[in-house]
Amino acid sequence: MDVQSELAVDARGIARRFGPKWVLRGVSLAVHPGEVVGLLGENGSGKTTLLRILSTLLRPSAGTVSVFGRDIAIAGSEVRDDVSFLAHTPGLYDDLTALENLRFAAEMAGGSSVDLRDLIERVGLARVADERVRGFSSGMQRRLALARMILRRPRLLLLDEPYSNLDSDGTVLMNSVISEAKRTGSAAIIVLHELAPAAGILDRTVTIVDGRVMGPSLSSGSRPKSAAGGIA
């Protein structure tokens, strides 16, 4: 069995404040390649903020993060090569077609050899490939954003509530994409409201309460393997 000593994510003591308010208060998290971690917590507990820090969108107010051995504070651009963030708002351009959005993403990611029409078909949007995103439902937008993520072939997938607005087909699609990424040694961190949609693919869960990590939670459908998430 392949033992990869390099952690996908090695976050220590992450804290982040917005003005006077501390949203994260010392979160430590270790994620191994091939691991899929679910991040649970109430609204406002800091889950999304943690994801944004891991994706280099935000700088932590304190603490350090390494992604595949690279310190985010020093090698931000290289880290972005490996990371893809599926945010809650899809961040698509309404006036471009689905295909054009993907083409733009491919261009910005440094070129891609993937056939874009195949990709669109894979996420079930072949019908609307040449239509503007403005008319898409939120489920369709989420699928297109997923296609954009696949395009990037990231080693670390960060997903913020990816199952919201998805029908059952969409959920199956999402899980198949994550499973495939897992098979190739990529890691994934998924922010979740409820465990059910991700039941089959999670390796463990971490619960954030009030900006701090609580022990890996036990609930039906998930079997926590290791207590690698530190208690702060």
Question: Which residues of the shown chain bind another protein in the complex (CB under 8 A)?
Answer: 12-13, 15, 17-20, 22, 25-26, 28, 52, 55-63, 73, 77-78, 80-81, 83-85, 87-96, 100, 104-105, 107-111, 132, 148, 212, 232
Residue 51 or 202: the one with the smaller Cβ distance to another protein is 51
Smallest gap from Cβ 154 to another protein, in A, equals 10
Residue 36 or 83: the one with the smaller Cβ distance to another protein is 83
Residue 17 or 193: the one with the smaller Cβ distance to another protein is 17
The stretches of 31-190 forming alpha helices (DSSP H) are 47-54, 76-82, 98-108, 116-122, 138-152, 168-183
Smallest gap from Cβ 137 to another protein, in A, equals 14
Tokens of 130: 């040449």
Smallest gap from Cβ 152 to another protein, in A, equals 8
From 4, 154, 7, 12, select the one nearest 70 (Cα to Cα): 7
Tokens of 70: 């690279």
Smallest gap from Cβ 195 to another protein, in A, equals 26
Residue 25 or 122: the one with the smaller Cβ distance to another protein is 25
Q: Are 139 and 124 in contact (CB under 8 A)?
A: no
- Please state, in angstroms and rounded to a whole number, the distance separating the CA atoms of residues 30 and 11: 6
Smallest gap from Cβ 3 to another protein, in A, equals 27
Calculate the CA 152 to chain-centre distance: 12
Please state the φ and ψ torsions of residue 185, each to the nearest 5 degrees: 95, 5
Smallest gap from Cβ 13 to another protein, in A, equals 3
Look-up of token digits 């890996």: 216
Q: Are 83 and 65 in contact (CB under 8 A)?
A: no
Q: Are 204 and 37 in contact (CB under 8 A)?
A: yes
- Please state, in angstroms and rounded to a whole number, the distance separating the CA atoms of residues 204 and 211: 19
Tokens of 92: 């698509």
- Please state, in angstroms and rounded to a whole number, the distance separating the CA atoms of residues 146 and 98: 12
Residue 154 or 222: the one with the smaller Cβ distance to another protein is 154
Residue 136 or 201: the one with the smaller Cβ distance to another protein is 136
Residue 59 or 225: the one with the smaller Cβ distance to another protein is 59
Smallest gap from Cβ 80 to another protein, in A, equals 4
